[in-house]
Structure 1
Amino acid sequence: MIRVTIRRSGESGRVDSFAIEGHARFAPVGEDIVCAGVSAVSVGTVNAIESLAGLELPAAMKGGWLSSDIPATGDAVVDERVQLLLESMIVMLETIAGSYAEHVVIRQHTG
């Protein structure tokens, strides 16, 4: 199962970090559309943040695991873009989880 954990700031709801770990086991390796979808969405979001917001995230990635803490830049425009891209990632992951609930679970924590 793929486990997605989103951590948010209490008052603002800002995405502070995310972690994605595990394998969907929907199909054999190389044929697993659930893993491919989650990977495309999450890695694509990290790349989009770097390309469109100019922020290189401190992301760690290795075999079935991707995580990042999201730094505040102090630039309101950059921070807003980063948050919009992260919220978009969450919507896309929720869409996948909605169709493949037995393979993807999303937990959001505020605090």
Structure 2
Amino acid sequence: MITITIYRDQDERIKRFSVTGHAKYDDPGKDIVCAGVSAVTVGAVNAIEKLTGIVPDAEMKSGFLSASMPESGETHRNEQLQLLLAGMVVALESIADQYGKHVRIKHTLA
């Protein structure tokens, strides 16, 4: 199972997220659930960097992705960051709704 943990601060802003595990929906290379989660999360990290200039502190290896979000000091960029992260969460929730036996999302305080 893939476990996605979304870490929020007291103001509900997403500070970081982590993804661990494998969906085991299908054989490696054919697993659309793993591919979907990977595309959404890696795409979010790439979009944050390219569109906001904020560089997340990210670590990735097989079955693991962790990304922490630094503050930019600019309100507008931080708002963009949160919007991109919120879009990521919506996309992941859609995957979890469809493939709940293979994907779990947890929300916790950072």
State TM-score, norm by structure 2. 0.97
Q: What are the superposed Cα offsets for residues 12-66 of structure 1, whole Å, 9 maximum, x if unpaired?
A: 1000110001100000000000000000000000000011111111100011111
Q: Please report how far the alpha carbon of residue 68 of structure 1 lies from its aligned counterpart in structure 2 after TM superposition.
A: 1.3
Indicate the SS of the match to 1:109: strand
Indicate the SS of the match to 2:88: helix
Q: Which residue of 1 aligns with 2:66?
A: 67
Correspondence 1:50-65 to 2 at 5 A = 50-65=49-64
Q: Which residue of 2 aligns with 1:100?
A: 99
Instruction: Give unpaired runs (5+ residues) of structure 2.
Output: none
Indicate the SS of the match to 1:19: strand
Q: What are the superposed Cα offsets for residues 63-108 of structure 1, whole Å, 9 maximum, x if unpaired?
A: 1111111111111111111110000000000000000000000000
Correspondence 1:27-38 to 2 at 5 A = 27-38=26-37
* Residue pair 2:55, 2:69 contacting (<8 A) in 1 also: no
Q: Which residue of 2 aligns with 1:49?
A: 48
Q: Please report how far the alpha carbon of residue 110 of structure 1 lies from its aligned counterpart in structure 2 after TM superposition.
A: 2.8
State TM-score, norm by structure 1. 0.96
User: What code does the residue aligned with 2:105 have?
Assistant: I
Matched, 1:8 2:8: yes
RMSD, matched Cα: 0.8
Q: Give the Cα separation in 1 of the matches to 2:41 and 2:15.
A: 15
Q: Which runs of 4+ in 1 moved over 2 A?
A: none
Q: Give the Cα separation in 2 of the matches to 1:67 and 1:94.
A: 18
Identity %: 48
Aligned length: 110
Matched, 1:17 2:16: yes
Q: Give the Cα separation in 2 of the matches to 1:78 and 1:22.
A: 31
